Amino acid sequence: MIDKERMTEHVMDIIKIDSLSRKEKDVALKLQKDMEEIGAECFYDDAGEKVNGNVGNLIVKLEGNKPDAPPFFLSAHMDTVGPGEGIKPRIEDGIIKSDGTTILGSDDKSGIAVIVETIRAIKENGVAHGDIEIAFTICEEIGLLGSKHIDMSKFRARHGIVLDSSTPDRLVLRCPSADHLEFTVHGLEAHAGLCPENGISAIQITSEAISNMRLGRIDDYTTANIGVISGGRATNIIPNQVRVVGEARSHDEETLKEQVNHMRKCFHEAVSNYEVTLHDGLSAEGTTYVAKLDEIIERSYDRMDVDIKSLPVVLVEAAVKNLGYTIKRHTSGGGCDANYFNKFGIECANLGTGMYDLHTVNEYLVLEEFYRSAEIMLEAIRLNTKIPS
């Protein structure tokens, strides 16, 4: 029932439409047209205004031909990371890849194309289905902002699938909580050659803090990273300010709290080691300057942990079995829109679409897995009509 040729053509078409985060409008308009052509109702929420983007989340509703079946939810994100402008996809030996100068954007255009083809095939073949509600989200790549600000009043569905992970061999049930950390270290500026003893180096403090920090993989379920350091102006100036941005993630809230506190403590301790007293004539004892720290700790998103007896899991596993494939339950180290949907009351697992080496110019899409993902979705939606609503 899945039309592989049409599905391939569609994913190639939407990959060619640039859609960096906050600039998803062009691809949204194309999807709106595709969905309206098959008789679905489309509208946008106000998430775009809230995050300063050029369009909101595209919400699509397709009325079921089995009104007694429970509504089913589907989602994929429209934005991509960079370098993602002027992508030139090409098909080679069963995979799609870019020309090597940009990402491919199969993350998450493949998820979108799986949804669109599933809906097209369902309509074309008169497959039994309940109401289908779709969220094509914005700004997933910059902190799940589209799903965070989605207008939940537009949805009736209480279960469904997000299509935004690597392989349909796996169904992602668990994603971690994540905290965002920002530290600004304030030292004291001085001429590095004439009077370095009059300065406090914010770079030195920062290095001390980070060198004492546990980073990378902390345990099976916890990771931490310092991703950005900026500061300093010239080699002959003792730097007075450094900004450091990092993150910590865990499937366990207690461990996450411990890790974040550990990272904070490293900065607090390093900062407390630095002060300088200047005899500047203001007073006999001189003036003492101490290093200072500003910190911002914010929750990026809460963890998800989908019950193995929940409908998304039961439906996908039954569909996979009916089709003669296999699938494993998976715990991921990354967050996705499903983190928010689960939090907001739509139980969602995350099914892979065949995309690999994401967020690099080597990203590629395995066509066999991509088609399989759509077959699984179609069968799961058909099975969903057999559930009493």
Q: Which amino acid is at 11?
A: V
For residues 204 and 240, the answer to whether their CB atoms sit within 8 Å is: no
Find, among 36, 34, 80, 29, the residue nearest to 55 by Cα. Answer: 29
Q: Which residues pair with 365 in a beta bridge?
A: 96, 355
Find, among 375, 367, 366, the residue nearest to 323 by Cα. Answer: 375
Residues touching Zn ion: how many (CB under 5 A)? Answer: 3
Binding residues among 298-337 for Zn ion as defined by CB under 5 A: none
CB of 104 to Zn ion, least distance (A): 12
CB of 62 to Zn ion, least distance (A): 23
Q: What single DSSP character describes residue 200?
A: B
Q: Which amino acid is at 247?
A: E
User: How far is residue 57's CA from residue 163's CA, in Å, rounded to a whole number?
Assistant: 16
Residue 208 is among the residues annotated as catalytic for this protein: no
User: How far is residue 250's CA from residue 14's CA, in Å, rounded to a whole number?
Assistant: 34
CB of 165 to Zn ion, least distance (A): 8
For residues 134 and 59, the answer to whether their CB atoms sit within 8 Å is: yes
User: How far is residue 139's CA from residue 145's CA, in Å, rounded to a whole number?
Assistant: 5
| Cβ proximity to Zn ion, 163 vs 200, nearer residue | 163
> Is residue 45 involved in binding Zn ion (CB under 5 A)?
no
CB of 107 to Zn ion, least distance (A): 4
Distance from first CA to last CA of the chain, Å, rounded? 26
CB of 301 to Zn ion, least distance (A): 14
Contacting residue, 164, 179, 363, 379, with Zn ion by CB under 5 A: 164
User: How far is residue 166's CA from residue 245's CA, in Å, rounded to a whole number?
Assistant: 27
Find, among 119, 104, 111, the residue nearest to 34 by Cα. Answer: 119
Give the H/E segment covering residue 271: helix 253-272
Residue 140 is among the residues annotated as catalytic for this protein: yes
| Cβ proximity to Zn ion, 24 vs 131, nearer residue | 24
CB of 169 to Zn ion, least distance (A): 17
Considering the candidates 79, 208, 337, 379, report the single residue annotated as catalytic. Answer: 79
| Cβ proximity to Zn ion, 165 vs 184, nearer residue | 165
For residues 22 and 54, the answer to whether their CB atoms sit within 8 Å is: yes
- Report whether the peptide linkage leading into residue 108 is cis, meaning its omega lies within 30 degrees of zero: yes
| Cβ proximity to Zn ion, 96 vs 209, nearer residue | 96
Binding residues among 91-120 for Zn ion as defined by CB under 5 A: 107-108
CB of 253 to Zn ion, least distance (A): 24
Helix (H, G, I), strand (E, B), or coil: what is residue 246?
strand
Stretch that binds Zn ion, among 43-51, 157-165, 229-237, 263-271 (CB under 5 A): 157-165
Site string for Zn ion, 127-146 (x = CB under 5 A): --------------------
| Cβ proximity to Zn ion, 75 vs 204, nearer residue | 75
Helix (H, G, I), strand (E, B), or coil: what is residue 89?
coil
| Cβ proximity to Zn ion, 127 vs 162, nearer residue | 162
Considering the candidates 24, 131, 140, 363, report the single residue annotated as catalytic. Answer: 140
Stretch that binds Zn ion, among 35-43, 118-126, 162-170, 260-268 (CB under 5 A): 162-170
| Cβ proximity to Zn ion, 109 vs 129, nearer residue | 109
Stretch that binds Zn ion, among 19-27, 156-164, 203-211, 248-256 (CB under 5 A): 156-164
Q: Site residues (CB under 5 A) for Zn ion?
A: 107-108, 164
Kindly list the catalytic residues.
79, 140
